[in-house]
Chain A
Amino acid sequence: MTNFIEMIPYETPERKREAAFKLANIIGISKALIPRNTDYNRVVASLAGIILYRHLDGSRRREVMEMVHSFSTSHRAFCGQMEGKIANLLVQARWEKWSLTNKELEEIVEAHRKFGRLSSIVGANPGAYGVGAATWSIIKHGASTGGIVGFAVSVILVGVGEASYQQGESASAELQSRHKAIPANRNSLIN
């Protein structure tokens, strides 16, 4: 049986119960759904297998799915949400940041850093200037069509800048949380 927990890029507590809660939190499965009074090795192995799923070959994917389905009778919702997480990964590789390799995360951070650099060359976020100007124009001249369109476009520009910043920050935070862990789990598969 593959030791998936040794391959993930996260440090986990020694006690398997705590490890299960930590991994469920990373993946985004509610604590309330984690089975109680169970063999936590199985829970941890299933969650670790899901983190690695995108990077596994067919036989290891089957192994993960067998572990996931071992909960289908006793813990239907826990099993169902794990299946849902796997489906998300298959639909869109970048859906879940915990499934990305360090290299993929670094690419995301770099892409958003470039976007941020461009904004700083233009002078902060151009959308923010637009919002200020359009709001002032609406106050001054009333809510004309032009004023509202200008306001809406500017708000969208601010939103694009903010979304890019947040995605970059999120990827960066994810990388940092992994960097702390790598020495502990030397066999990490997703570097």
Chain B
Amino acid sequence: MDESYTMDGSILRILPSQLTSLIFAFLLLNFLGGKALARPQLDGSLLETTYTSPSGRLSCTLSGIPIDSSTFFIDDSSNPEFEGVSFGYQTGESYLVWIIRLQKEGWKDVSPATLDEFPVSSNGYIPYFYSGLPYEISELSQKALSEPGGSTGLLKVQFGSARQVHGYWVRPIEGWLQSVQFLPGLTSIPNGILDESEVRLGLNRMVKQCGFTLGK
């Protein structure tokens, strides 16, 4: 009989070699549990400076983002066909917001106000987003990515006297659409309006710091 199962009275004897496995299982359970408790308001987790979505398909390194600032926010959402995270903070006269999302291609969304259905496609992704905002939009630049169907661009956004430059990066891959949007808040204070190079920098920063993993 294997000694490891032997019961001496009511005490289970575990050999030292098996203790390692038990500790491994204990740590794994604690690690998974800890992730869920780290930020109860998030579906995913924020451990130190890394956000990971519930499925693990989407992760962002938030190094350089002041996550302890009183102006910082982070919010996420997930379902089998969508994962997204948004976060932002104030710096000087600007409030910077990023939205990172991964969405199943072809999935229909419905606007409750109009009951219109919108296909999720690489062409419709960004126009659909701006169709819900009462802003005047004009294109400043647009460039195709090396991946087929992918694009990145800058938009001039205006609402009354407030204005701003927004950036986007979208690419379709394996039936999914991935996107990074950089949305500094609109403002009428000249110091708060970012120039094109600053927006491109902010956009590319999260394109680099956010990873998408498919096939899970």
Contacts and interface: CB of A to CB of B under 8 A. Distances in A.
Given A32-B70, A73-B187, A84-B73, A138 B24 contact: yes
A179 interface: no
B86 A84 contact: yes
Nearest to A65: B134
B162 interface: yes
Contact of B88 (A32, A80, A151): A80
B210 to A, nearest CB: 15
B1 interface: no
A66 interface: yes
The size bracket of the interface on B is 35 or more
Contact of A79 (B54, B99, B128, B185): B185
Contacts of A16: none
Interface in A148-191: 151, 155, 159, 163
B201 interface: no
A177 B186 CA distance: 34
B66 to A, nearest CB: 12
Contact of B75 (A65, A88, A159): A88
Q: Main SS of the interface on chain A?
A: helix
Contacts of A88: 75, 77, 84, 86, 99
A83 B84 contact: no
B162 to A, nearest CB: 6
B192 interface: yes
Interface string B64-107: 00000011010101010010101011100111110101010000
Contact of A143 (B24, B79, B93): B24
A30 B31 CA distance: 29
Nearest to A189: B112
B195 interface: no
B18 interface: yes
B16 interface: no
Contact of B132 (A81, A90, A135, A151): A90
B160 interface: yes
Contact of A86 (B20, B110, B133): B133
Nearest to A95: B77
A55 interface: yes
B159 interface: yes
Contact of A83 (B181, B186, B188): B186
Most central of A56, A76, A85, A96 by chain B CB within 10 Å = A76
Interface string A30-50: 101100000000000000000
Given A79-B95, A84-B73, A92 B113 contact: no
Interface residues of A, number: 47
Interface in B7-57: 14, 17-18, 20-22, 24-25, 28-29, 32, 41, 43, 54
B203 interface: no
A87 interface: yes
B109 interface: yes
Interface in B175-196: 181, 183, 185-189, 192
B77 A92 contact: yes
B160 A92 contact: no
A65 B14 contact: no
Nearest to A163: B54
A44 to B, nearest CB: 20
A14 interface: no
Which 5 A-B residue pairs are closest in the complex by CB-CB distance? A80-B95, A77-B71, A95-B77, A90-B132, A62-B134
Interface of B: 4-5, 14, 17-18, 20-22, 24-25, 28-29, 32, 41, 43, 54, 70-71, 73, 75, 77, 79, 82, 84, 86, 88-90, 93-97, 99, 101, 103, 109-114, 128-129, 132-134, 159-160, 162, 181, 183, 185-189, 192
